Amino acid sequence: MNWKTAPLLPTLYDFAVQNRALSRLGARALWNYDVDHLHELIAAQDPSALTLDIPCGGGLAIRDNPRHVAADLSQTMLKRARRKSTTLVQADIYNLPFPTDTFDVCLTYNGLHCLEDPPSALHELTRVLRPGGTLQGTTVIKGAGRDPLIKLLQRQGAFGNPGTRTNLRTWLEKASLTNITLTTSGAVTAFTARKSGTHHSPASAKVD
């Protein structure tokens, strides 16, 4: 995928995303999406939660907090994210280098639609969540009036295999996640779900 091998695409994307006015205009024009909702989700993060943020991109959701672990496959994105944090890991979302039941929260903002196999990524994110932990993210979906644009971006290698809103719910359910909430704005759906079990989060927990 171009996100891993071509530095220009990630750089241009990150520049647009980090600029609040430009991202607002672009999200509305491209996806009929109110990007302020994404910023509200980011602002509501719990700083005490041990959090995995993947793909972190250039660091839109990063907080300067050692309990916020930012990860991405792209070296270009990680270099840009380094401006905001030093708790960075180069990682493949399909094969995360963390033990099972590690994180209180997993974030995956604007990443699933870039993947060839979103269901496998959701299974892996669920694996590293602690019982009772929360998975939260946003993704472009099919069937919301932007399918021709999705197909164009797929041909350019920028998108993988996004699904419909129904597909997204099915993927989350098959990952054994519960309490699923989907909120759609234009062609973007925000999702929140929980891993079954009781959540215990000792203050001393850390990621090496």
Q: Tell the burial category of 202 from Cβ atoms under 10 Å away from its Cβ (0-12, 13-18, 19+).
A: exposed
Residue 79: pLDDT band with limits 50, 70, 90: confident
- pLDDT at residue 22, as a whole number: 82
182 in a structural domain:
yes
Residues for the chain: how many in total? 208
Q: Angle 8-18/20-31 helices, nearest 10 degrees?
A: 110
Residue 69: pLDDT band with limits 50, 70, 90: very high
- pLDDT at residue 205, as a whole number: 45
pTM for this entry: 0.87
pLDDT digit string, tens, across residues 17-63: 667 788 889 899 999 999 999 999 999 999 999 999 999 988 889 88
190 in a structural domain:
yes
Cβ atoms of 201 and 104 closer than 8 Å: yes
205 in a structural domain:
no
Say which CATH number the domain at 120 has. Answer: 3.40.50.150
d(CA 138, CA 38): 8
208 in a structural domain:
no
Q: Which domain holds residue 108?
A: 2-41+48-195
206 in a structural domain:
no
58 in a structural domain:
yes
Q: Tell the burial category of 118 from Cβ atoms under 10 Å away from its Cβ (0-12, 13-18, 19+).
A: buried
Residue 123 clears pLDDT 80, i.e. is over it: yes
140 in a structural domain:
yes
106 in a structural domain:
yes
Cβ atoms of 60 and 42 closer than 8 Å: yes
The total number of structural domains that make up the chain: 1
Tokens of 85: 């944090």
